[in-house]
Amino acid sequence: MRRRALRIAAAIAMATMAAGDLTAQQTSPPSQNRRVWTGTIDDREILLNEYDSTPIRRPVRYSQNVQVSFTFVSEDDPARAGFTRWVSRRLTWDANARSWSSIQGRECIGQGTVDLGPAKAPDATTPDQDAQMLIPCKDWDAPNVWSFIKVPNPKVRLPIIDMSMTNCEPTRRWSEGGVRYTLSVAGDAQADAVVEIDYETYAAFVPEPGRPLTFTARSASGPVRFRFELDPAGTSRFPGYATNANVDDAFFTKYNLGNLRGQYANRDPDFMFNPEHFGASAWSRREPGVVETRRAESATVVTVTAMDFGAVGRLRAYVESPDCDGSWQPVTVLVNGQPREWIAIPLDEDDNLIADALEPYRGAGSGADDDAKPDGNGMAGDGLTAFEEYRGFLVRGVGCGSETTETVYSDIVLQNQSQLAGWSDQHVRTAPDRKDLFVHTADPELALLVPAFSAATDLDVHVICESHYVDNDTRTVNVTLHGGNMRMWQGRSIARDQPQHGIRLEPVDFLGIRGLAIPVTDGDMGPPRLTKTVQVIKPRPTSSSNALRGRLELPDLVHTIVHELGHAVGIPHHGDSVDTTRWRL
């Protein structure tokens, strides 16, 4: 399999090459106060809710991503006392910008490496150099159509260098005009370090509890000590580990995390350095968020472990620099040639908190709730955000633990195989373009019949246990984010203001009728939030058929379940058929 590398490299090697090229151009006196400046420029914007100027208001998708990394070398100017000259200036850029509707658009794509050469000022350029930094764009539109859309005009920006910055000062990070800049400076003798991973593995990584991702760090210029840090500001701490699941004792067994039992809690970071991967003989510092190698080495391996189905993490790497009194110096990240300050885990180029590896969620806003299928009453959405659907839900497996039932219908052979609640749960990521409904019944026999409602309505219906929502009275399904009062993270919406609810389906011995959807308040008919419970008649095998007016035949029971669940989602009485255009979630 073709392998590509994600490299985290101290850019001093580039500066050394640049300085070597310079000797072919001019001969200079011995350098004094030579300094190497490295950094990145991140000019990125994504707009998901734009429209064109026509009365139809066609949706427009807009994105701009221009990444620049640079290595400049300065020294005292021997010809001008008190002045600085620039002996080498190189930058690498990668641009991808696009804006499009169904009838028109613009696309701008380009990349390159530019040797700006020596100069008296860091931002001095020639017309030929400016031409090397032009980003080519191509417009297209449908014939005989008049419309305006917001279009990108990307440009390659030059570094902003503050000469007051001192060697080995921590990396500066700031924003100006919506563009993010970083700048580091050091003497010209720093170590060269590289961190490599298999890019295909990185790009395919989707978080789930216990899943590891490994990086290999190497030093090309000799042994060094490495430090890795999960940036607290960029690593999520979502409550629980799925949209409807909090960390409990079964969590550590199900996901082979027994060594963390008693050490990991419900609101702890969603990525960590599991001590199982970091022996004391090789690592001097072993904390959930920071690890450091004990000795200087030419290579080492670091493993990051996910603890949540929606985990978001930011990994930074450092080397111990002898030129900076042994302090830890950050290094620049290059992902497929594009500069980064850190490694984003998982890969998330559309910046929506969702792994790019899962195509159905690609390009969706994290807070979007615009499920279109099936149409129902014409209202889009099902009360769950794209992020909640991506993070996923625990649903009923082979059973819900201690529940029991007596089989009534001889053609259904049923045995509850789950003897402990939570052990047979299954995790599902729901489709962001399809509407979902959650139904809990403690009766395994009824649970086998619930899918009939999905077949009748085309809704994605999921059977859950009582532990998969708050309780039978509250019935909130997206319990973790709402229970933790978390609607936003990093400025992005992840949960709606109001929670979504499930439906309780329970068997009863006698109603006088076949079934009944009981509203929270008299007169209300759905949605699930307003439905207290759905009851259906299910006689026991030992019950008197006369008292129950005869046992329901299996088709009658299926019809009753579909009929009453229909009321629970707002379908009124109008006959025996299910009107799939009237329900609401």
Interval 306-318 mean pLDDT:
95
CA dihedral over 473, 477, 482, 484, signed as positive or negative: positive
Domain residue spans of the chain: 34-161, 190-345, 359-569
Q: Worst-scoring range by mean pLDDT, 5-14, 424-433, 558-567?
A: 5-14
Residue with tokens 């991503």: 65
Q: Indicate left, alpha or beta for 391 from its phi (over 0: left) and psi (-120 to 50: alpha).
A: alpha
Interatomic CA distance for residues 182 and 37, integer angstroms: 10
Interatomic CA distance for residues 135 and 108, integer angstroms: 6
Give the pLDDT band of residue 16 (cuts 50, 70, 90). very low
- Pick the residue with more confidence: 257 or 540? 257
The tokens of 457 are what?
């309505």
pLDDT of residue 61: 86
Residue 6 has pLDDT above 50, yes or no: no
The tokens of 484 are what?
């933790």
pLDDT tens figures, 22-58: 333 344 444 577 888 888 899 998 887 788 888 888 8
Residue 582 has pLDDT above 70, yes or no: no
pLDDT of residue 434: 92
Interatomic CA distance for residues 243 and 427, integer angstroms: 10
State what percent of residues in the chain have pLDDT above 70.
81
The tokens of 212 are what?
């590891």
Strands in 485-569 per DSSP E = 488-489, 492-493, 503-508, 515-519, 531-537
Interatomic CA distance for residues 449 and 47, integer angstroms: 44
Residue 197 has pLDDT above 80, yes or no: no
Interval 176-205 mean pLDDT:
79
- Pick the residue with more confidence: 528 or 206? 206
pLDDT of residue 15: 38
Helix (H, G, I), strand (E, B) or coil at 43: strand
Strands in 450-574 per DSSP E = 460-464, 488-489, 492-493, 503-508, 515-519, 531-537
pLDDT of residue 257: 96
Backbone angles phi, psi at 359, to 5 degrees: -60, -35
Q: Give one DSSP letter per residue of 216-239, joined into a string.
A: EEEESSS-B-EEEEE-GGGS---S
pLDDT of residue 418: 45
Interval 307-311 mean pLDDT:
98
Cβ–Cβ under 8 Å, residues 451 and 515: no
pLDDT of residue 24: 37
The tokens of 10 are what?
């101290």
- Pick the residue with more confidence: 189 or 585? 585
pLDDT of residue 411: 46
pLDDT tens figures, 107-128: 999 988 899 999 999 999 999 9
pLDDT tens figures, 53-90: 888 888 888 989 999 988 888 988 888 888 889 988 98
**Each residue of 467-477: b (16+ CB within 10 Å) or e?**
bbbbeeeebbb
pTM above 0.95, yes or no: no
Architecture of the 190-345 domain: Sandwich (2.60)
Interatomic CA distance for residues 224 and 139, integer angstroms: 50
Peptide bond into 322 cis (omega under 30): no
DSSP 402: S
pLDDT of residue 10: 40
State what percent of residues in the chain have pLDDT above 90.
40
Interval 275-300 mean pLDDT:
93
172-176 and 436-440 beta bridge pairing: unpaired
Give the pLDDT band of residue 517 (cuts 50, 70, 90). confident
Residue 580 has pLDDT above 80, yes or no: no
The tokens of 377 are what?
């009453």
Peptide bond into 374 cis (omega under 30): yes
Give the pLDDT band of residue 422 (cuts 50, 70, 90). low
pLDDT of residue 549: 41
Amino acid at 290: V
pLDDT of residue 240: 96
Residue with tokens 């379908």: 571
pLDDT tens figures, 313-368: 999 988 887 777 778 877 766 666 565 678 999 999 888 999 999 999 988 888 88
Interatomic CA distance for residues 48 and 30, integer angstroms: 54
Helix (H, G, I), strand (E, B) or coil at 92: strand
Cβ–Cβ under 8 Å, residues 285 and 278: no
Residue 581 has pLDDT above 50, yes or no: no
Interatomic CA distance for residues 380 and 358, integer angstroms: 22
pLDDT of residue 478: 94
291 membership: H or E segment, kind and range: strand 290-293
Interatomic CA distance for residues 256 and 253, integer angstroms: 5
Residue 449 has pLDDT above 50, yes or no: yes
pLDDT of residue 334: 65
Amino acid at 131: A
pLDDT of residue 522: 78
pLDDT tens figures, 130-180: 999 999 999 988 776 677 888 899 999 999 999 999 877 888 999 999 999
Interval 544-568 mean pLDDT:
71
Peptide bond into 527 cis (omega under 30): yes
Interval 298-306 mean pLDDT:
93
pLDDT of residue 21: 42
pLDDT of residue 238: 97
Residue 516 has pLDDT above 90, yes or no: no
